[in-house]
Amino acid sequence: MSKRNEYIEKMKVQLDELNAKLDEMDAKKDAMSAEARKKYDAQMAELREHSTKALAKLNEIKEASGDKWESLVAEGEKVQKAFVHSFNYFRSQLKG
């Protein structure tokens, strides 16, 4: 497997895992009060936006030709790290 394919697969797996965890968390929101659910929904919308941006960057990397994909890796990692950071922060707020 090429370096490019390994990178794409690794990024895709991580994004899929995070999105699955978001879906799990979303399934538990019914137990929240109306006020808590409103805040939760706003934060979840922000996380879904991060997810969308990360998936778009992944698709851009997939479709990049030749060595161009390597120039997109830094951008992809930045977007993905922002998503991971936001997810971890959100999850910590739910536990607190």
Number of domains composing the chain: 1
Residue pLDDT, tens place only, 55-88: 999 999 989 887 788 888 888 889 989 999 999 9
First and final C-alpha spacing in the chain:
42
Per-residue pLDDT, 28:
81
pLDDT > 80? residue 20: yes
Burial class (CB in 10 A: 0-12, 13-18, 19+), 15: buried
- Comparing 17 with 73, the larger pLDDT belongs to 17
pTM score, whole prediction? 0.82
Confidence bin at 96 (pLDDT 50/70/90): low
Residue pLDDT, tens place only, 36-61: 889 899 999 999 999 999 999 999 99
Domain span including residue 19: 3-25+34-95
CB atoms within 10 A of CB 59: 12
